[in-house]
Amino acid sequence: MSQQPQPNGLDGLTELEALAMDHALGGGSRAERKAAELRLLSDPEFRAAVERWQVMLAPLDDVTPGIAPPPSVWAAIAAEVEPQPRLAAALPAVAGGWWNNLGLWRWLAFAGPVLAAVAVAVLVQPGAVAPGVPAIVADGPALVATLADADGKPLIAAAFDPANGQVRFAPVAASDKATGGTVPELWVIEGKNPPRSLGVIDIAAGRSQTIPRDRLAGLKPGVILAISIEPTGGSPTGAPTGPVIATGKLSAD
Amino acid sequence: MSRPNQPFTTGSTELAALLVRVADGDAAAFQAFYDRTSAKLFGVILRILIERQESEDVLQEVYLIVWRKAATFDAAKASPITWAATIARNRAIDRLRARPPRAQVPMEAAFDLVDDGPAQDAGLIHDQDARRIAAALSTLEPRHAAAIRACYFDGVTYDELAAREQVPVGTLKSWVRRGLIRLRDLLEGSQA
């Protein structure tokens, strides 16, 4: 790297590297910072350079004394990020059962293996189990997903029990997107593959639905579940044809 | 540098695990992450903005970004606290830049390019990386080190620093960039 001073201040640096240093250090004007932020969105090389400088400079923060913020700050943040309880309270029509409790579904997601086994026992309904499948076998953790609409509003909680292939849905909030002559259809999206149908579902009932064994492969933590609105009987093409009303990631403990 | 230069302490691992849960919408994990990081982030913001109410607003904004963007955290690139503190610095500097010129909080000390950082801060340095970068900074040309500190800690612009030092902006940028390159070379040298 050249150490000769130059009028433009580049000192032999590439423009990309110089601007990355400026942005990481923060000395640019408002307009320069806005330009850099736009570039971060579209230029991976620039983003990587900025991140390298940020990581190098970060230990400097160690000398800045920590100062506890007043409790009002957390109260304001919590009010923004925990709308679920208020949503549920505002919707008595769907607040009909223990399953309409997002906290419980979240709890299932993070429960340890022992708790997961209990959860599976609760989820399995006697008589709905396919022949030959033991009713209470946790050969995999229960998987759960919270499916939210495009604005991030949670609509549906889903729990999948790998032991018997059952999926159960709990409405978190009412959606007015489903209308007469249409049905919701569940899809799984694994990586960059096209959505694969898991069949037409009945969200409102809160009942267990069994997914055919041949479609179970790939239902693992990290895949995306999506629900689209399709003509009665399901998508005629094998791919979603109607609007996608909710998506969510499947997760496990 | 091909890897983060912060060692992954137990604290980092715990914070990273919390962020994974935050990305899944776990409000309890989010509160735990806030409890462990908010004093540090508030310190970073307050040092730049000085004004307390504005700093509280920015802190709130920063944690809402953390809540929404937790899934974008990449442990291969930075430690959780670096990731969060970088968001905080950027938001605080952007807020500072958005102030109307007359509303600037007086920052005489920030403009005084005397490199008094390491001595007065030494007692607070506990992390090995922090000691290394402070030591490296202290070997730079004092005006270069002071300009880097003023930008990083106080959010001062190159234009303000150049006016204060009565040098062209290009010269000021050259100081800073040469200082940063030297800093990087020193840190990479001491890592080997």
* A148: in domain: yes
Same domain, B95 and B112: no
Same domain, B17 and B98: yes
Same domain, A239 and A115: yes
Kindly state the helix (H) or strand (E) to which residue B176 belongs, with its residue range. helix B169-191
* B69: in domain: yes
Please compute the mean of the pLDDT values over residues A203-210 and round it to a whole number.
Answer: 60
Give the structural domain span for A36: 15-63
Residue at a domain's end among B103, B118, B136: B103
Residue with tokens 């920590």: A66
Same domain, A142 and A189: yes
Of A150-154, B124-128, B138-142, which range is least confident? B124-128
Q: A167 - beta bridge partners?
A: A160, A209
* B35: in domain: yes
Tell me the pLDDT tens digit for each residue of B132-148: 999 999 999 999 999 99
Same domain, B113 and B96: no
CA B62 distance to own-chain centroid: 14
* B5: in domain: no
Kindly state the helix (H) or strand (E) to which residue A221 belongs, with its residue range. none
Of B34, B81, B187, the CB nearest to A56: B187
Q: Tell me, what's the pLDDT at A203?
A: 63
Highest averaged pLDDT of the listed ranges A44-48, A203-207, A241-245: A44-48
Residue A127 has pLDDT above 80, yes or no: no
Which of helix, strand or coil describes residue A203?
A: coil
* A3: in domain: no
Q: Provide Rg for chain A, Cα atoms.
A: 25
Same domain, B73 and B120: no
Which residue, among A40, A53, A64, would best test binding to B if mutated, counting the most B CBs under 10 Å from its CB?
A64
Same domain, A38 and A127: no
Same domain, B156 and B140: yes
* B36: in domain: yes
Same domain, B91 and B14: yes
- What are B74's two structure tokens? 């990449």
Same domain, A126 and A239: yes
Q: Which residue has the higher pLDDT, A52 or B191?
A: A52
* B94: in domain: yes
- CB-CB neighbors (< 8 A) of B31 in chain A: 74, 78
Please compute the mean of the pLDDT values over residues A149-155 and round it to a whole number.
Answer: 70
Q: Which residue has the higher pLDDT, A137 or A5?
A: A5
Which of helix, strand or coil describes residue A121?
A: helix
| Residue A200 · residue A234 · CB < 8 Å | yes
Same domain, A26 and A123: no
- CB-CB neighbors (< 8 A) of A65 in chain B: 43, 124
Q: A144 - beta bridge partners?
A: A159, A251
Please compute the mean of the pLDDT values over residues A72-84 and round it to a whole number.
Answer: 83
Same domain, A168 and A245: yes
Q: Which residue has the higher pLDDT, A176 or B151?
A: B151
Same domain, B120 and B187: yes
* A157: in domain: yes
- What are A151's two structure tokens? 């604005």
* Distance from C-alpha of B165 to C-alpha of B175, rounded to nearest angstrom: 12
Q: Which residue has the higher pLDDT, B114 or B45?
A: B45
| Residue B91 · residue B62 · CB < 8 Å | yes
Q: Which residue has the higher pLDDT, B75 or A171?
A: B75
Q: Do B157 and A251 touch (CB under 8 A)?
A: no
Return mean pLDDT, chain A. Answer: 69
Same domain, A141 and A219: yes
Phi, psi of A196 (to 5 degrees): -115, 135
Same domain, B151 and B93: no
Of A55, A66, A78, the CB nearest to B40: A66
| Residue A187 · residue A221 · CB < 8 Å | no
Residue B20 has pLDDT above 70, yes or no: yes
| Residue A209 · residue A201 · CB < 8 Å | yes
* B18: in domain: yes
Same domain, A36 and A160: no
Q: Do A63 and B134 touch (CB under 8 A)?
A: yes
Q: Tell me, what's the pLDDT at B16?
A: 93
* A194: in domain: yes
Q: Tell me, what's the pLDDT at A173?
A: 58
Q: Tell me, what's the pLDDT at A134?
A: 35
Same domain, B138 and B112: yes
Same domain, B99 and B17: yes
Q: Tell me, what's the pLDDT at A180?
A: 59
Interchain contact B111–A (C-beta under 8 A): no
CA B157 distance to own-chain centroid: 15
Structural domains in chain A (count): 2
Please compute the mean of the pLDDT values over residues A74-102 and round it to a whole number.
Answer: 53
- CB-CB neighbors (< 8 A) of B38 in chain A: 68-69, 73-74
Residue of B nearest to A148 (CA): B25
Residue with tokens 């709990």: A170
Residue with tokens 């993070």: A110
Please compute the mean of the pLDDT values over residues A31-51 and round it to a whole number.
Answer: 93
Q: CA triplet B170, B172, B174: central angle to 5 degrees?
A: 70
Q: Do B93 and A8 touch (CB under 8 A)?
A: no
pLDDT category at B189 given cuts 50, 70, 90 is confident
Scored b (16 or more CB within 10 A) or e, B55-68 reads: bbbbbbbbbebbbe
| Residue B37 · residue B15 · CB < 8 Å | yes
Quote ipTM for the complex.
0.84
* B2: in domain: no
Residue B120 has pLDDT above 60, yes or no: no
Residue A229, CB half-sphere, CA atoms under 13 Å: how many? 12
Residue A116 has pLDDT above 60, yes or no: no
Residue B157 has pLDDT above 80, yes or no: yes
The residue among B135, B55, B120, B122 whose CA lies nearest residue B89 is B55
Q: How many residues in total does chain A contain?
A: 253
**CA distance to A28, A121, B44, B62, per residue, from B85 (Å):** 19, 44, 7, 9
A–B interface: beta-carbon pairs under 8 A:
178
Residue at a domain's end among A7, A35, A63: A63
pLDDT category at A222 given cuts 50, 70, 90 is confident
- What are B38's two structure tokens? 């908010």
In this structure, is the dihedral angle defined by the CA atoms of residues B44, B46, B49 and B53, taken in order, positive or negative? positive
* Distance from C-alpha of B34 to C-alpha of B41, rounded to nearest angstrom: 10
Same domain, B36 and B79: yes
Structural domains in chain B (count): 2
Q: Which residue has the higher pLDDT, A170 or A159?
A: A159
State the maximum Cα–Cα separation within chain A, in Å, rounded to a whole number. Answer: 82
Residue A14 has pLDDT above 60, yes or no: yes
- DSSP H stretches of helix in B26-157: 27-49, 52-69, 80-98, 108-111, 117-121, 128-138, 142-154
In this structure, is the dihedral angle defined by the CA atoms of residues A252, B4, B9 and B11, taken in order, positive or negative? negative
Please compute the mean of the pLDDT values over residues A208-223 and round it to a whole number.
Answer: 73
Residue B12 has pLDDT above 80, yes or no: yes
| Residue A105 · residue A147 · CB < 8 Å | no
Can you give the CATH number for the domain in which B179 is found? 1.10.10.10
Q: Do A26 and B181 touch (CB under 8 A)?
A: no
Q: Do A65 and B43 touch (CB under 8 A)?
A: yes
Give the structural domain span for B139: 108-191
Residue at a domain's end among B87, B103, B119: B103
Q: Tell me, what's the pLDDT at A10?
A: 65
Residue B17 has pLDDT above 50, yes or no: yes
| Residue A73 · residue B38 · CB < 8 Å | yes
Same domain, B27 and B91: yes
Residue at a domain's end among B42, B73, B103: B103
Of B27, B30, B125, the CB nearest to A63: B125
